[in-house]
A and B are shown apart, each in its own frame.
Chain A
Amino acid sequence: MRLAPFGAAAALALVQALAVSAQVGDLAARAGPETLAAVQGILDEAAGDSLPVRALESKVLEGVAKNVPPERIGQVVARLAGELRAVRAALREALPDQPLLDGEVVAVATAARQGLDVETVRPLWVSRSEGEGGSLEVPLTVLGELVRRGVPVPDAVSLMTHVVATSVPLPVAAQIPGKFDGAVGSGASPAAALGQALRNLNIPDPPGRGGNPPSGRGRRPPG
């Protein structure tokens, strides 16, 4: 078992927990008694199951900010807790030796809403083991966004797996959906648009894809 990914993951988890805990307002002070009554049981149970409670609290506050009725907030938070619970269990089963960050669990739950399941995104964890480690939250989010924008799931997974394995810098990798969108806007098919996006960002094509020979390791092109 490699310890480096665990250390990096733990450090990231700590940073994120500190950041979010400092920023998320006091739920009890912000939500009214009816909303608290609707969600408190869900949050307590989620905490007992080691789910990303901050994400659930934030969803409560989002509903409060948007003037959503307490009953509806309770339904939405319960649904989200159910999704997180299912994702976490599936990840634990598929990746028993991998550390799981809250952000990654949330990102997989988000990707699931785009039609991706745990088994589909599993190669990213395998690639992380081969690469430099680090949180998969951003790659998973970009993956979901690619699928939302019309990239076929196998192409999107192949690409993001490659990005993680070759340690393409995240600021570069995360530009892929935007570049892809621009290429589609110019009339390219999704597959061709993906190729154009990769070339624009100087990211080598994943194995199995045609196109230009690798010309860099994710560095931004000159100029």
Chain B
Amino acid sequence: MIFAGAAGGAGAIAFGARRRGIAPVAVSLLVLPLALTAQAPRWEVDLSASRIEYDTLAPLGAPSLSALGEWQRPSVFGRLSGSLTGFEGAGWSGQVRGDLAGWIAPAGRGSPLRVEFAGAAGGARHSSGFNSAIGRADARLHLRARSSGGWVGASLASARNSFDSASVGGAIPSVGLWTQTALLRATVSVLATRADGNTYPEANVALSMTRGAVDLTAYGGLRRIPRSLGGSAERWAGATASVWFDARAAVVVSGGTYASDVLQGLPGGRFVSIGVRLTRRRARPIPVSAQAPIVYTPEAASSGSIGFVVEDAERVEIAGDWTGWERVPLTRDDSGRWIVPATLAPGVYRFNLRVDGERWIVPDSVAEIDDGYGGRVGLLIISN
């Protein structure tokens, strides 16, 4: 028996604490948008108070401390997260999870084809002694364009908990589509978890929006239960709003329901949560889209019209052929663009931006080439 309710009690607490109302997507797939750029490491710490009602238990109050760290490069992504939750008269629970994902472009960087490999491992432990663990490996084939894409893939997962000495393995084929505008990102996926001779087909939708100081995420899903286990359906949905009252701090409010975990045999539940998020810098769910022109006129170069949008940057410098590759600080204009203070003769110049003194980048949509040193260098084209 591997379905909801098998673990119950402490297992439910352990599992529910991980969700704690901010689960961005009902499924635990980490699907890369494959439009990654070299970003500074990101970390977040959340302090929250939740009210959780599991399918198998009465409502519980649950203060929680959680942390998340991410490291991102153009083709590699890593994430480590964990949380510690206390339960009203029911002990405490700790969870940790690590994700690592990367992609290759077998047909070249200009091709829309990407192959993604990902893996995740995590575990939970409750003060009663209950513990559980899960590991998974994913391979996905993506077709992507600038603002939309899709994937088909398969995952293998194995889970165990201390109530059952045998681990449960599962295969999870999936397909999905995503699209993104300047304000909204939507992902739809269909997958089927096959485990212990049963198949659990499910569909998921996830939405992310950002508007001014507010980030919104919402998710929903539907899963069919095999006839041998009752033949019913399980539904879940939830939403999270993050209101940034400072570049480094937000109030996070969330609520909804979440799905049971088929492989770990943990029940679903309902939750409402409010908390504070602290971070080094805000990471928007929808990255700022920058459409830099390919070419500039000399007039633009001398009138302060050359500017670039750099996501989540506090300090940006430019270095290029015309500066002798000495870094020149840029200033940000009212629209958030970092302005290049240069007067350039017609021609093609190689350059990079240095962000926060720690990473070299090429601004989005600028022409670029291999720099020979293991990175990329942009081409700033000044016309006649």
Q: Residues 18-41 of chain A: 1 if any B CB is under 8 Å from the residue's CB, otherwise 0?
A: 111001111000100000000000
Instruction: Quote the shortest CB–CB distance from B222 to chain A (angstroms).
Output: 28
Cβ of B194 under 8 Å from chain A: no
Contact of A177 among B294, B326, B327 (CB under 8 A): B294
* A211 lies within 8 A of chain B by Cβ: no
Chain B 321-353 against A: per-residue CB contact (8 Å), 1 yes, 0 no? 111111100000000000000001111101010
Bound-complex Cα distance A142 to B383 (A): 12
Asked if A217 lies at the interface with its beta carbon under 8 angstroms from chain B, I say: no
Determine how close the nearest CB of chain B comes to the CB of A160; give it in whole angstroms.
13
* Interface contact B373-A181, CB-CB below 8 Å: no
A145 in contact with B379 (CB, 8 Å) = yes
**In the complex the two chains form, is B294's CB within 8 Å of A80's CB?**
no
CB-CB under 8 A from B367, the residues of chain A are 141-142, 145, 148, 177
How distant is B297 from chain A, measured CB to nearest CB, in Å? 6
Contacts of B384 in A (CB 8 A): 134-135, 170
Q: Once the chains bind, are B373 and A76 in contact (CB under 8 Å)? A: yes
A147 within 8 A of B: yes
- Chain B residues near A147 (CB-CB < 8 A): 110
Which 6 pairs show the lowest CB-CB distances between chains A and B? A25-B324, A185-B146, A174-B295, A61-B325, A19-B345, A65-B325
Residue of B nearest to A169 (CB): B383
CB distance from A177 to the nearest CB of B (A): 5
A138 in contact (CB, < 8 A):
yes
**Which residue numbers of A lie inside 8 Å of B, CB to CB?**
12, 15-16, 18-20, 23-26, 30, 54, 58-59, 61-66, 68, 72, 76, 79-80, 103, 106-107, 110, 113-114, 134-135, 137-138, 141-142, 144-145, 147-150, 169-171, 173-178, 181-182, 184-187
Contacts of A171 in B (CB 8 A): 295-297, 383
B147 at the interface (CB under 8 A from A): yes
Q: Give the residue name and chain of the B residue nearest to A75 (CB).
A: B372
Q: What are 23 pairs between A and B in contact, CB < 8 Å? A: A15-B345, A19-B344, A19-B347, A23-B321, A23-B322, A25-B324, A61-B325, A66-B360, A66-B371, A103-B347, A113-B369, A134-B384, A138-B348, A142-B381, A145-B367, A148-B367, A170-B384, A171-B297, A171-B383, A174-B383, A178-B293, A185-B146, A187-B145
**B370 within 8 A of partner (CB):** yes
Q: For residue A13, give the distance in angstroms from its CB to the closest CB of chain B.
A: 10
Assess A64 versus B294: contact at CB under 8 Å? Given A76-B372, A141-B367, A145-B379: no
Known A18-B345, A187-B148; further 20 A-B contacts with Cβ < 8 A: A16-B346, A25-B323, A25-B325, A58-B321, A59-B372, A62-B319, A66-B371, A76-B372, A103-B348, A106-B348, A107-B348, A135-B346, A141-B348, A141-B379, A148-B110, A148-B368, A171-B296, A171-B297, A174-B293, A185-B147
- Min distance, Cβ A123 to any Cβ of chain B, angstroms: 20
Q: Chain A contact residues: over half helix, strand or loop, or mixed? A: helix
Determine how close the nearest CB of chain A comes to the CB of B88; give it in whole angstroms: 50
Minimal Cβ-Cβ distance residue in B for A30: B324
Residue pairs across A and B with CB atoms within 8 Å: the count is 140
CA distance A170 to B346 in the complex (A): 11
Residues 254-300 of B at the A interface (beta carbon under 8 Å): 291, 293-297
Nearest residue (CB) in A for B360 is: A66
* Distance of A184 from chain B, by nearest CB (Å): 6
CA distance A18 to B346 in the complex (A): 12
Distance, CA A65 to CA B323, complexed state (A): 11
Other-chain contact of A66, B148, B293, B373 (Cβ < 8 Å): B373
B111 within 8 A of partner (CB) = yes
Q: How far is the CA of A52 from the CA of B365 in the complex (A)?
A: 27
Chain B, residue nearest A54 (CB):
B321
Distance A76 CA – B352 CA, assembled complex (angstroms): 17
Given A76-B373, A103-B348, A175-B293, also A23-B324 (CB < 8 A): yes
Select the residue from B296, B321, B322, B377 with max chain A CB neighbours within 10 A. B321
- Asked if B227 is an interface residue, CB under 8 A from chain A, the answer is no
Q: Residue on A with the closest CB to B107?
A: A150
Residue numbers in A under 8 Å from B327 (CB-CB): 65
**Neighbour of A185 across the interface among B145, B368, B372, CB < 8 A:** B145
Q: How far is the CB of B220 from chain A (nearest CB, A)?
A: 26
In angstroms, how far is the closest chain B Cβ from the Cβ of A189?
Answer: 10
In the complex, whether B375 has a CB less than 8 A from a CB of chain A is yes
In the assembled complex, the Cα of A145 lies from the Cα of B367 at a distance in Å of 6
Question: B295 contacts which chain A residues (CB < 8 A)?
Answer: 138, 142, 170-171, 173-175
Q: Contacts A24-B324, A145-B294, A171-B295 known; A137 to B348 CB distance under 8 Å?
A: yes
Query: In the complex, what distance in Å separates the CA atom of A178 from the CA atom of B364?
Result: 11
Distance to closest chain B CB from A132 (angstroms):
11
Q: Which residue of B is nearest A147, CB measured?
A: B110
B377 proximity list for chain A (CB < 8 A)? 62
In whole angstroms, how far apart are the Cα atoms of A66 and B326 in the complex? 10
Q: How far is the CA of A137 from the CA of B346 in the complex (A)?
A: 10
Complex contacts, B291 vs chain A, CB 8 Å: 178
Complex contacts, A23 vs chain B, CB 8 Å: 321-324
- By CB atoms of chain A within 10 A, which of B347, B352, B360 has the most? B347
CB of B125 to closest CB in A, whole Å: 43
For residue B356, give the distance in angstroms from its CB to the closest CB of chain A.
16
